[in-house]
Structure 1
Amino acid sequence: MIERRSFDSLGGADHGWLKAKHHFSFASYNDPKRMGWGALRVWNDDTIASQTGFPPHPHADMEIITYVREGAITHRDSLGNEGRTEAGDVQVMSAGTGITHSEYNLEPNSTRIFQIWIIPDGHGKPPSWGAKPFPAGERSGRFVALASGFKDDTDALPLRTDARVLGATLKAGETTQYALAKDRYAYLVPAKGSVELNGIKLDARDGAAIHNEPTLEVKALEDTELVLVDTSR
């Protein structure tokens, strides 16, 4: 089962400094049919104006992954962590028992991010944050785990949930596959470019909700950058 969710069908909000599109219900956007996908709860497509951002605010009991598509985001939190994550790179914040953080675009141009929230497997652990560069060449033609709760994904940022976030870049005409285990839920979004997913066309920033598909075959119709979440129920 693959359900294409076109970019134009997504909920959203325009706050001036922030233009957001929501793949799932979030804030004032509420769609009972789009409350999450397995343990995946939030996938926001955010465009943040230069010299603006999210002021300090708290979170708890959530795995929050930020994939930077264009520009860079600067993070600060109540643990004393600070970092700047650039396009193509990833940061993970495990909110745990509670953390306060800010995310600002201090760049001269707009920054575009995917913000992904996944429900953790347990509670009561201390909060943490980390970031890592993932050069596009290392995921050329194949999916690479960027953040993962699986011990075998040793190069990925750690997650406290039975899930992984993967990235891939494909040249026009290239094809790659991903094996999806039984009873898993997957959600795929082309950050750039268009693809065919098991014969279904997806344009840039469309979403695909996937279940009971043992093999995902992705063919690039043009140069593309992909983000995929594979999660449990």
Structure 2
Amino acid sequence: MRTIIHKADSRGYADHGWLKSYHTFSFAGYNNPSRMHFGALRVLNDDFVAGGNGFGRHPHSNMEIISIPLEGTLAHSDSMGNEGTIQPNEIQVMSAGTGVAHSEFNGSEVDPVKFLQIWLFPNKENVRPRYDQIQINPADRKNKLQQVISPNPEDEGTWIHQDAWFHLVDLDVDKEVEYTLKGEGTGVYIFLLEGQLEVADETLSRRDAIGITDISSVNLKASQNASVLIMEVPMV
């Protein structure tokens, strides 16, 4: 087993007033050669957008883009004709493929929106752009793994063009789960949203992360009530 720890306070940070963003990996003005990606996981941004603000329409290509709202309402519009809002307990995915333009704004003029934006390298380039949005039930992750993303359209959750699996779990104190890897040549990147977690002989606190490779399974135990995002991704 090999591990890499990314403590919350080691992330890049940008404060634009209306936007406050923590970057786990190099992004925009944050350039750290030792923090470029974890396998296919290229971007993990922890964003705060003030009321009435957002990102104007901008292009993407050949990237799998995942948005996970944590608080508030995120308004989305894109060149495929999709327009609407996403809120906590919803997952949005967009396969940029041959090219797509989109905008993301706070859906409220007053309250902030907090969300994760995650980019993965795809396993196939120049696919037809695709959008999906699903609702998830928080009861389905209470002390158990809830799959929200996979490579397979038939599976639970939504899917992307990559051999990756995302799970959420909310653990009560002293509860534990075992995550068994599904792919070949994959690793897991575990991002602690809230609480405190014991994993791989390490203690994670809020917004800490650990990347683990060369394992077939990993045990997660909450030392405080914990909300966790588990991302299994190819390492090549």
C-alpha distance in structure 1 between counterparts of 2:232 and 2:146, whole Å: 12
Q: Is the 8 A contact 1:197 1:218 kept in 2?
A: yes
Residue number in structure 2 paired with 1:191? 193
Which amino acid counterpart does residue 174 of structure 1 have in structure 2? K
CA distance in 1, matches of 2:99, 2:78: 11
2:117 aligns to what? 115
Between stretches 175-184 and 212-221, larger displacement belongs to 175-184
Q: What letter matches 1:90 in structure 2?
A: I
Structure 1 position 163, deviation (Å): 0.8
Task: Identify unmatched segments of 5+ residues in structure 2.
Answer: none
When the two structures are aligned, how many residues end up with a matched partner? 232
- The residue that corresponds to 1:84 in the other structure is 85
Maintained 8 Å contact 1:182/1:214: no
Runs of 4+ in 1 over 4 A off after TM superposition: none
- Give yes or no for contact 1:67–1:113 (8 Å, CA) kept in 2: yes
Distance 2:69 2:8 in 1: 18
| Counterparts of 2:71 and 2:225, CA distance in 1 | 16
Which letter does structure 1 place at the counterpart of 2:32? D
What pairs with 1:54-203 in structure 2 (closer than 5 Å)? 54-107=55-108, 108-150=110-152, 154-180=155-181, 183-203=185-205
Report the alpha carbon displacement of residue 183 of structure 1 after superposing the two structures with TM.
2.7
SS in 2 for 1:193: strand
Could you tell me the TM-score, scaled by structure 2's length? 0.94
Alignment match, 1:213: 215
* Structure 2 residue 24 is the aligned partner of structure 1 residue 28: no
Q: Distance in 2 between matches of 1:193 and 1:85?
A: 24
Partner of 1:231: 233
C-alpha distance in structure 2 between counterparts of 1:148 and 1:15, whole Å: 34
SS for the counterpart of 1:142 is coil
Alpha carbons 1:167, 1:226 under 8 Å: kept? yes
CA distance in 1, matches of 2:163, 2:123: 7
Compute the displacement of 1:150 (Å). Answer: 3.3
The whole-number CA distance in structure 2 between the counterparts of 1:128 and 1:151 is: 13
Q: State percent identity of aligned pairs.
A: 34
Residue 182 of structure 1, CA deviation:
5.3
Q: Distance in 2 between matches of 1:69 and 1:210?
A: 25
Residue 151 of structure 1 deviates from its aligned partner by 5.1
CA contact (8 A) 2:85 2:107 kept: no
Instruction: Tell me if structure 2 keeps the 8 A contact 1:69–1:191.
Output: no
**What TM-score do you get using the length of structure 1 for normalisation?**
0.95
Contact 1:70/1:88 (8 A) holds in 2: no
Displacement of 1:46 in angstroms is 0.7
